[in-house]
Structure 1
């Protein structure tokens, strides 16, 4: 067997594999001999079928199968030994005139080669890492929310500004019929609020869905419409009031503090706010980190310049998926996924350069921490290490879970790399301002 490579350019190559008769003949003969021993052909005793008949019936199929196995094995070894960093998979060149009656065969494969490039994490302009904080306004709102949540429900005869209104949103055409409880601060604009103020149980209020809520996604919550329907929904709905309540705010006393955090952990309003601030900012840190990860990714893709073997990749995409694509569809798919491909190459370069690895111990420790957090949410805070080990083992026996956790851990390792190596500046921002700036 002989394998040669012709480099077309820095990103494309053709590998030629020449297979001679001596490369496959012994294996083919052995398989045909085994067939002969077990072949069931009318007119012949088992094991006494003439070899010529076995070859006539099975020879071509066995030859094709063995040559293809030999070809794939040889090609795989060659790519590994030559340390060729290929994109996609080798594409066999069409051979309409291949003669399987010949003794020797030649096959050619197109290769798309990964580009050579360097990754520079030190951007000229510093990338902002947002430190999201809970300000006094937010803390006061959270305390108010807690007092309402644990307060006493009081029935009212008519709607006031702070009422909790239970009723049914309905629209026959859109099959909307949802019972829900809502407060007036959810609505957008004073006009809707005015329709409710003074209303009584049994009253029916007609509303337009367009611009009804401050956030259109609330249509999904209160009207139970789909995400797609929520955007741009412009119909008339009725709201039939079935119940009106208000809440007497709960006292900020030790009984409430113990109910929220456990006996004696919080003993004053000041400590309550400190606890809320601490818990909130832990969650905000995750959002700030995700924003940083997204921003550094964007910077790297935009500023790490290299070419891709676009023509090869589009050709490969035509047959790589579950359903085949024509050239135009492959081109569209390539254009949609090019950015993702570029980042995968950049990420791979960073992982290799900085030796970022996810070990089994990393996965196990991560799984155990995740389990502890989940169990704590249900009040289980004293699980034994043996119990955690058992649950972690079950999780890590699932390949999909291992893949998901590995990706999470690698993302964390990359984030830590960016924090230590990238040109960053820290900016403190309140949660409300962060949401307005990036998600409104």
Structure 2
């Protein structure tokens, strides 16, 4: 009769000893040999007629060892279920100076030692006691004007112009690398481009006024463009944006076309082009729609920021003890690739934080009965599809949408990923209800600085 004993060997670290005697593994060993003889293909014998004695002689030792190990694993598994042991990862075999020598000719009592890392009991940090801020970005008239103008240009009409007259002229150009005297460099860079006159540096723009199609201007990138545009132009020319020598190169810029975008007028045709699914009749309604879109975008950003804050508060303020020595041994030997002690020491702080977050979310899910249902995953698939396609949720859904969702529900990786993301979202939604967060109106700049400060603090 097998016996199982358990003793504590460290913080949340126990040793489980399994002893198995002949009665625990011999019956299954005999049965396994008989099954083997029925299946074996050995020359000179009909299938299923190989004598058990021959099988025992040829394969007995490996079958015997398998059955002993199976008996041990069964006892270990039953013990953990009966004792309701909450453990990390899998039990690790303990290294023994004198390991049991399994010998089918000597069916004695065998002893195996395992160590387990026990999950700790803990309380999740009380968020109602934490000082938290819920930022609300204020959408200004300037932001609405900027977006309205961008949409007018995007839906506007390009017309040709005789000469460069204003900052909003569009130039089609060809850059050709030259020397300082404007002579073309053999094998040098040659590249088409297109941009607005206002992308040039302010002092340089004056040299372009009055220029016509086929006119050529010799320039240096570092003098013709300010830093932001300069980096973009250098990248487009295949040059290193940090290379000062590259920025000082000379180019002939040949103007091949001068254009101007006539902005779309504020009328129902324009409103329909921008928002085909909405009934927008007036400029006021149009501006209101833009405001809602901008607000929605910044609400998502501030929500993400708050969730980052919540994550760090929960991880930093929830006290959880770990069986550190067990987890480090498991990291060394339990993965697909063995790791060195140095690798484990380097990776452990990040690993422990991830483990802490997993324990916290598991506890919140169990205590609050948070469920992810099939319909949640289906809704997630639909939302993702509509996001990719730039569609809006419609009443009259086409059959192909249902087919797509059915297909995604059979994709195990998608379902697992969706399940995890939905569960995390449900955890954050729950936790947000427990906050005593103060709402604070901020400008885009103020919020961006706050978010940046937060990123630096935690990385």
TM-score by length of 1: 0.84
What residue in structure 2 maps to residue 275 of structure 1?
A: 289
- Cα deviation, 1:233-278, whole Å, max 9, x if unaligned, reads 6661567555443322221122211222238811222111100111
1:133–1:431 CA contact under 8 A, matched in 2? yes
1:339 aligns with 2:353: yes
Displacement of 1:79 in angstroms is: 2.4
State the number of aligned residues: 431
1:121–1:423 CA contact under 8 A, matched in 2? no
Aligned mates of 1:98, 1:193 — CA distance in 2: 86
1:236 to 227, 230, 246: 246
Higher mean C-alpha displacement, 396-405 vs 50-59: 50-59
Stretches of structure 1 that go unaligned for 5 or more consecutive residues are: none
Aligned mates of 2:304, 2:198 — CA distance in 1: 30
1:141 to 119, 137, 146: 146
Change in Cα spacing, 1:398 to 1:44, as seen in structure 2 (3 Å) is closer
What residue in structure 2 maps to residue 131 of structure 1?
A: 136
Aligned mates of 1:177, 1:93 — CA distance in 2: 68
What residue in structure 2 maps to residue 161 of structure 1?
A: 167
Aligned pairs for 1:394-433 (under 5 A) are 394-433=407-446
SS at structure 2 position matched to 1:277: helix
1:28–1:63 CA contact under 8 A, matched in 2? yes
Displacement of 1:136 in angstroms is: 1.1
Aligned mates of 1:98, 1:330 — CA distance in 2: 30
Displacement of 1:354 in angstroms is: 1.6
SS at structure 2 position matched to 1:291: helix
Aligned pairs for 1:1-16 (under 5 A) are 1-16=2-17
Could you say which structure has the larger radius of gyration?
2
Aligned pairs for 1:22-421 (under 5 A) are 22-44=23-45, 46-95=47-96, 97-101=99-103, 102-103=106-107, 104-156=109-161, 157-158=163-164, 160-167=166-173, 180-183=193-196, 202-203=216-217, 205-207=219-221, 212-213=227-228, 222=236, 236=246, 240=253, 243-262=257-276, 265-372=279-386, 374=388, 377-378=390-391, 381-384=394-397, 388-421=401-434
What residue in structure 2 maps to residue 434 of structure 1?
A: 447
Aligned mates of 2:59, 2:196 — CA distance in 1: 78
Displacement of 1:196 in angstroms is: 7.0
Stretches of structure 2 that go unaligned for 5 or more consecutive residues are: 178-184, 454-459
1:159–1:165 CA contact under 8 A, matched in 2? no
Aligned mates of 2:352, 2:277 — CA distance in 1: 56
Higher mean C-alpha displacement, 365-374 vs 132-141: 365-374
- Cα deviation, 1:120-167, whole Å, max 9, x if unaligned, reads 232544211222342211001001111111222234544853333445
TM-score by length of 2: 0.81
- Cα deviation, 1:184-212, whole Å, max 9, x if unaligned, reads 6667x756767877777654543359983
- Cα deviation, 1:73-106, whole Å, max 9, x if unaligned, reads 4333332332222122211112463211142222
2:386–2:392 CA contact under 8 A, matched in 1? no
SS at structure 2 position matched to 1:259: helix
SS at structure 2 position matched to 1:84: coil
- Cα deviation, 1:286-319, whole Å, max 9, x if unaligned, reads 2221111110001111111222222211111112
Aligned residues: CA RMSD: 3.6
